[in-house]
Every structure is written in structure tokens, then in C-alpha cells.
Structure 1
Amino acid sequence: MRTSSFAPTRRRLLLAGAATIASPLAFGQGGFPSQPLKIIVPFGPGGLADVTARLTAQKLGDKLGQQVLIDNRPGAGGIVAAQTALTAPKDGHTLILFSNGTTIAKTLIKLPYDPQADFVPVSSLAYFDLNLLVSKDSRFTNLKSLLAEGARRPLTFGTINPGSTQHLSAELFKAATKLNATLVPFKTSGEVQAGLQRGDIDVGFESYTALRGAIDGGVLRAIAGTGPARTPWLPNVPTAREQGVDYEVTGWNAVYAPKGVPEAALEVIGNAMRDVLAQPELRKRLAEMGADPRASTAAEMGSVFERDRRKWQQVIQQAGIKV
């Protein structure tokens, strides 16, 4: 009889406890994260995506009370990375880094998944420009000299993975200038640098963050920036537009999760991302490396993705680039 009389009260207590656990605050404090997190990066070590992700992951781990690991899975269009993320448990402990190269890949490559239907945004991470880079001994000092040489012979452009921001930026530059150029793909930014130094390629398309040491050390030279204005980290490098070429590219990185991850987990990660990217120390570090740190809500990031998807779809179609 005593057990029976206490049953309703006990049931109410259990239900109240379940409601508490389901709340985002309690989820973050006790239920999530319950183990180290992983951010899958669809690029090799040392590139802009890798560097910005690692710096942010360290602070994110401090905030969440669990280590945040980086898992590099380079491959064309981010397919290997995406498939790895989609086969992981959908509990919020496995995330993926998307870039505006992902919006490009959706149009340019026949993907075995849909970045917008199979994944959900968490927060943007950083925005960045690219640079047209040459070796220190290159004859190219600006775009004028590059275009003049391109009128005499075919050129070679080096970028990381096909379908990446860097890759399509080179395709877009080729279309904008009507140059006869061959694109040479590399797995990592370091390999792009090596290709430039060996003379295997004429120009590399890469971020300041990815090859900062080589640029600052004078091993590589930037002859043009791809953004709308000169950057604080390379104030003496004119943009392509300044040099008379109708061409502009701005990239971004963002954290996404496979669809099906609990909303409470996404909220915990999103809030932590916004707190971390507001920290002056991390903002200063990322800015010094050529990245503009910016957090966002999931809805804001979703809008940016769709905007860029439409933009690059139009670029690809107008340039006649084959899928």
C-alpha cells in the first residue's frame, strides 16, 4: 500500500526530472557534451580552414568542458568529410566544417548528399579573402604582367581540392580574364606552395592564413587580393579590381551538424561558438592570421549559404564550367 500511495508522486518527480534534463541549460551542464567532440575538416592540415578550426576548437573545448578534436578528411567537393560525418552517431559530438566552397560544390559536383537537406547550420566561424600568389623569383609583379604572359602562352594555376573556394576562384579568374590556363589540383596548401617554389605552376590561389609563413618570409609574393578592398594584413597588395580586372571573391567557414542532431545540443554548441568568437584574444589571433572572425545564428548562416549557392550557380553557368 505504501508503494502504491507514493507512485503518483514518484511519477511526477520523474517527469519533472525528465523535463529538466531536456532543457538546453541542463543539457549543456549535465547531458551534453558527454565526450570529446570532433570537427571534421574537408581540407588537409595547415590550410585556412584547418588553422581557424583548430584555434577555435581549443577555446570551444575550454568553454564546453570537453576536448574538441580536428579530423582532417580532404577530398574533392568535401565528399569524404561529409560521408564520415553522416555515418557518425547523430548526438552532437560530430560536427563538420563547411565553407562557401560547399555552396560551389553543390552546383559544380554531383554530390552523393545534399549539404542543405542532410546538414544543418550551427554558426559561421570566419570570413576571408584569397590571394594570387607567385614564387619570389617569378617574373610576375602584378596582374598586368600576368595577363601579358598569358597572352603569349598557356598558364598553370594551382589550388587545393576541386570544388573548393580556391579552385572555383581560379576558374572564375580564368573566365573573367579569358586566359588560357590549366588548373592543377593539390591536396594541401603546403603542396601549392611547393608547386610554386618548384616552378610547377605559375600562380597559386590561396589565403594569407594558409601560407602566412611563406608570404611573410618572402618565399611567396602576393600580386593581387580577391576581396572588395585591401586587407590590414597585406595593405600593399592591391585587389584585382584595383588592377582593372572585374573579379571579386570572399570566402567563409562555418560549423554544421548532420541533420537529426538534437536541437538542445545544437543550441549548446551555437551559444558556445558565439561566446568563444567574441573573446578578444581569439579575435586578435584570427585577425593576425588573415581571418575575420564572425559568429552567427543558425538561420543567419542558412541564409548566407543559400545566397552564395545562387551566386556561384550563376557564375558557373555563365562561365560555362561543366558539372
Structure 2
Amino acid sequence: MKKPCATLAIAMLAWFSLFTGDAQAQFPDRPIRIVVPYAPGGSTDIAARLVADALGKSLNTSVIVQNQPGASGNIGAAAVARATPDGYTLLFVGSGIASAPSMKEVPFDLRKDLAPISRVVSSQFSILVNPSLNIHTLQEFLDYARANPSSLNMACSGTLTAAHFALESFRQAAKLDFQTIQFNGNAPAALAMMSGQPPAGIDAAFSAKNAVTAGKLRALAVTGSKRSPSLPGVPTVAEAGIPGFEAGFSLVMFAPGATPKALVDRIHQALVAALKDPAVVQKLEAQGFDLIGSSPADFARELEADIKANEAFITGLRRAGVIQ
């Protein structure tokens, strides 16, 4: 004869399994929220809204983008890590999140608290100056920076973000000495550059396009292996004076860590379907993105490799005194 407690436990487990299975089968039955952990108007925000619209059509539901900036993306990421793992709260973030395990006082465990869904798209950065500097080429900028060691400030979208890694790689490759000023996202960084405080910096090539076209910023070079469709007249850093230089970023998607695999796979399938829509492809490519849509398993492997690579890079920055 079964004990009453054991019988009750079995019954509750059976009910929970039935309930969760039914909930997953009906997914989605309400709007989905995508958290972008940066300020509105930046590269990640722009891409997130394009992806959210397409994902909503693929899943036949509303997908809402919520900006939750701060701490280089870690505030928004922590909010998703704490969210109910039911597929209705997702994170859309820059690949610099792979530095989280190497950062101090990060309120989540990247490997445990977030479930990889996909590396969605990739793109590249641009090196920018305020026109008041009267600098028109990357070589002129290098000459200016070397003639004014330690007095040049450059804007960046946050500590240990992909933009920060690209800017530090640029510093090392060019053998420059400048101060990096960090902002909560690339939109605030771009606004600061347009005001001349600081007069130079880094931003995604496509999100800098409007400011460059309007003459509010000048693009000296892009950081990819080839020119950006967003700034086709701007040479690569390698073309413009630093042979072999290349840096970029990707935008990735996560769910809360305990999200059932079936839900992660369902979201990924819908994402891949969305990324195959010719209209979506055209919109994303027009913004300078290369579409990826990697599987959860592939992204998980790539993420682990990124974590280890970033750890080594961050260790070098700490030894050099660039960061604490």
C-alpha cells in the first residue's frame, strides 16, 4: 500500500507534467517580451525590432521590445535570467555578453542562468570623429593621436562589450594611447561624439550611417574584412593603414536558463523561419547585417569558445592596467 504522502507527490508531479506539457503545446498564447539591455536607438535595438516583428509573424503573436540598459548590458541580462522560464521573456544582446563570467559582481551565471537560442546576425564597427577635429582619413587620425598622447578621448558603448574589445584591439594594433569613455549603449555614445565630448569613438557602422550622412560625424574606417554596405565609401581599417586588422560583433538571443528544450527549439525554429523571409533578409542586410541563425547547440559551443577567448583578452587588459 502506498503511503498518502508518496501518492500525493506522484499525483502532483503528474498534474505538473500535464500542465507544463499543455502550456508548451499551446505556446505562444500571449505576447512575448524581448529585453534589449541597452538604450533605444542603438545597433542592438534596431536589429531587435526588426527581428521581433518577424518573429511575431512567425509565431503568430505580438513580440514586444523592452529596453533595460545599464552595467554594459548586465542589468537587462540579469532580469531575463530571473524571469519565469516559459518562453515569454527573451534576451537580445551583443556578443560581448561572453565577457560576463570574467567580470566582477555580475548578478547572474551566464552558463547556468541563460539558455542559448541562436547567434542571430553579425556586423562590424566604424571608427568615427567629430568634424570639428578636421580629420578626414584614418592615417590623419593616427598621426593626430600619436602627436597628442593621453589627451585623446574616445567614446564606447560600455565596458567589456564587443565594441570595447574592438576599440582595445584597435588601440593595440595602432599602438595608440587614448582614454576610453564608456556609455550605456552606442546611442548615448554617438550623441556624445556628435556634441564633441568626446570627439571620437566607435559605433556599429549601420547605426552610425545617419549621423555620417548628415555630416554630424565622419567615418574614417570600418573594422570588418570588407567594406560595409551601410558606408560603402569608407575603407576598412586594413585598407586605411593597419594591415590585417579585423573586428566585429554579433547579436545573440537567450531564454532564461531553465526554459525547457522544447520551447527553446520552438523559438529557434520560428526565428529561422523569420530569417528566411525575403523581406526580413532585405531589411537586415540593408542595415549592414549578415544573417546567421545558428542552432542552440552550435551557439552554445561558440559561446563557450567566446567566453574563453574573452577571458584571455580581459586578463591581458587587467595586466596592462586598462581595466580593474
Q: Contact (CA 8 Å) 2:100, 2:110: kept in 1 or not?
A: no
1:126 equivalent to 2:121? Answer: yes
**Partners in 1 of 2:54 and 2:31 — Cα distance?**
13
**Partners in 2 of 1:174 and 1:106 — Cα distance?**
24
Q: Contact (CA 8 Å) 2:123, 2:204: kept in 1 or not?
A: yes
More deviation, 269-278/185-194 = 185-194
Superposition map of 1:63-82 within 5 A: 63-82=58-77
Write the letter of the residue equivalent to 1:244: G
**Which residue of 1 is the match for residue 37 of structure 2?**
42
**Which residue of 2 is the match for residue 194 of structure 1?**
191
Specify which of 288, 303, 312 is matched with residue 286 of structure 2: 288
**Which residue of 1 is the match for residue 11 of structure 2?**
none
Change beyond 3 A, Cα 1:152–1:170: same
Q: Contact (CA 8 Å) 1:193, 1:211: kept in 2 or not?
A: yes
Q: Contact (CA 8 Å) 2:43, 2:204: kept in 1 or not?
A: yes
Change beyond 3 A, Cα 1:138–1:277: same
Q: Contact (CA 8 Å) 2:48, 2:65: kept in 1 or not?
A: yes
How far does residue 143 in structure 1 lie from its aligned partner after superposition? 2.1
Write the letter of the residue equivalent to 2:165: L
Q: TM-score, normalised by structure 1?
A: 0.86
Q: Contact (CA 8 Å) 1:85, 1:94: kept in 2 or not?
A: yes
How far does residue 272 in structure 1 lie from its aligned partner after superposition? 0.1
**Which residue of 2 is the match for residue 136 of structure 1?**
131
Q: Contact (CA 8 Å) 1:99, 1:254: kept in 2 or not?
A: yes
How far does residue 142 in structure 1 lie from its aligned partner after superposition? 2.0
Specify which of 208, 217, 220 is matched with residue 220 of structure 1: 217
Write the letter of the residue equivalent to 1:169: A
**Partners in 1 of 2:39 and 2:19 — Cα distance?**
41
**Which residue of 2 is the match for residue 206 of structure 1?**
203
**Partners in 1 of 2:132 and 2:314 — Cα distance?**
33
How far does residue 110 in structure 1 lie from its aligned partner after superposition? 4.1
**Partners in 2 of 1:131 and 1:109 — Cα distance?**
29
**Which residue of 2 is the match for residue 5 of structure 1?**
none
**Partners in 2 of 1:156 and 1:218 — Cα distance?**
20
Specify which of 234, 248, 261 is matched with residue 231 of structure 2: 234
Q: TM-score, normalised by structure 2?
A: 0.86
**Which residue of 2 is the match for residue 179 of structure 1?**
176
| Unaligned stretches of 5+ residues in structure 2 | 1-13
Change beyond 3 A, Cα 1:247–1:111: farther
Change beyond 3 A, Cα 1:179–1:52: same
Write the letter of the residue equivalent to 1:247: F
For each residue in 1:196-229, what CA deviation from the matched residue of structure 2 results, as whole angstroms up to 9, or x when unmatched?
A: 2222113121112323321233322210111122
Change beyond 3 A, Cα 1:141–1:288: same
Q: Contact (CA 8 Å) 1:104, 1:168: kept in 2 or not?
A: no
Match of 2:166, SS? Answer: helix
| Unaligned stretches of 5+ residues in structure 1 | 1-14
For each residue in 1:49-74, what CA deviation from the matched residue of structure 2 results, as whole angstroms up to 9, or x when unmatched?
A: 11111111011111212111111111
Write the letter of the residue equivalent to 2:82: T
Write the letter of the residue equivalent to 1:176: A
**Which residue of 1 is the match for residue 260 of structure 2?**
262
How far does residue 108 in structure 1 lie from its aligned partner after superposition? 4.3
Write the letter of the residue equivalent to 1:31: Q
Change beyond 3 A, Cα 1:35–1:20: closer
More deviation, 66-75/214-223 = 214-223
Specify which of 80, 84, 87 is matched with residue 92 of structure 1: 87
Write the letter of the residue equivalent to 2:72: G
